[in-house]
């Protein structure tokens, strides 16, 4: 039997709203644990709460719902460099814009520029005269 339902990870999202939606799928105080489908509760929460990027439900007498809310991307400030977060080896690299500064198999250091965001003017066309 479920005694309590604990919700964690909410910042902007209401804990009461998460509990209400979980209860609609059977995850509520007093229900029998074996009658609750963890997958159904997780899928229902993901469908009903577009502001979350991940949810994990554990069904025990003390049930838990762990929520990860989506982070708003920082406003674009124009071109920027893509740098290595840590040391490693480049497995593959694809630059949709900008100049690739490393190639597959290269060893990189933390902070090394991988893709340059610098924008250069196109080279002038040769004079036909």
Q: What is the pTM of this model?
A: 0.58
Residue 13 token pair: 């999202």
Q: What's the CA gap between 98 and 80, in Å, rounded? A: 9
Q: What's the CA gap between 79 and 97, in Å, rounded? A: 9
pLDDT at 78: 77
Domains in the chain: boundaries: 4-69, 74-121
pLDDT at 104: 93
pLDDT at 129: 65
- CATH top-level class for 4-69? alpha beta
List the one residue out of 108, 118, 120, 122 whose CA is nearest residue 81: 118
Query: Does the pLDDT of residue 113 top 80, yes or no?
Result: yes
Q: pLDDT tens-digit profile of 26-82?
A: 999 999 999 999 999 999 999 999 999 999 999 999 999 999 999 877 776 778 889
């Amino acid at each position: 039997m479920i005694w309590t339902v604990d919700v964690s990870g909410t910042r902007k999202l209401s804990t009461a709203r998460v509990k209400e939606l979980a209860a609609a799928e059977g995850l509520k105080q007093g229900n029998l644990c074996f009658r609750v489908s963890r997958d159904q509760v997780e899928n229902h929460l993901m469908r009903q709460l577009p502001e979350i990027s991940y949810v994990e439900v554990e069904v025990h007498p003390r049930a838990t719902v762990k929520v990860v809310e989506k982070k708003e991307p920082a406003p674009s400030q124009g071109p920027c460099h893509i740098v290595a977060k840590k040391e490693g080896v480049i497995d593959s690299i694809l630059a949709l814009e900008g100049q690739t500064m490393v190639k597959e198999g290269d060893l990189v250091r933390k902070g090394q520029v991988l893709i340059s965001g610098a924008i250069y003017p196109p080279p002038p066309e040769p004079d036909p005269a």
